[in-house]
Amino acid sequence: MKNIKYRLMAILAIAIFSLSIISMNTKENEVVTNSSTVSNQRIGWGIKRNDNHEQPDVGSNNKKVLEENKGICLGNKENKNIYLTFDEGYEAGYTPQLLSTLKENQVKATFFITAHFVNTQPDLVKQMIDEGHIIGNHTPKPLMPINYKMIKC
């Protein structure tokens, strides 16, 4: 009887130790994002078009914000890249099919979403994030709260 107790205690100790190791490894790769840590200062956004086939001017304040946040607005005029973007707000129900097509073709896109879309389609927003797409704010107010756990790969 005493021998059985020692074996059970040993098994329990091994199980606790194993779960602790697994938990530590998971937490190392876990990043919690919370939009409340982002500034909610309203910024006017627009571009000044050029007539000489050059990239438009986004303004010095917007350039500064983009650089601080490693954002992309115009890309590099020397490299020919296409940035696929979608406005998501009051769409006609095509987003699931669109996400499926992007996934099938291993294409990433940026979705500019409205607060209404976040509030009415949280599962689609989560799917966009889980599939590696970029989410942009397409509303004059912050999209609060968006609280998703993302695992670093």
In this predicted model, what pLDDT tens digit does every residue of 110-138 receive, in sequence order?
Answer: 998 888 888 888 899 999 999 999 888 87
CATH class of the region 35-151: alpha beta
Who contacts 61 (Cβ-Cβ below 8 Å, separation ≥6)?
Answer: 43
Cis status, amide bond into 145, omega within 30 of 0: yes
Q: Pick the residue with more confidence: 99 or 40?
A: 99
Q: What percent of the chain has pLDDT over 70?
A: 62
Task: Enumerate residues 6+ apart whose C-beta is below 8 A from 100.
Answer: none
Per domain, the residue ranges of the chain are: 35-151
Instruction: Tell me the pLDDT tens digit for each residue of 76-85.
Output: 778 877 888 8
* pLDDT tens, position by position, 44-78: 777 778 788 788 888 888 888 888 877 777 777 78
pLDDT number for residue 123: 92
The phi and psi torsions of 16 (rounded to 5 degrees) equal -65, -45
For residue 150, the model assigns a pLDDT of: 41
Residue 105 pLDDT > 60: yes
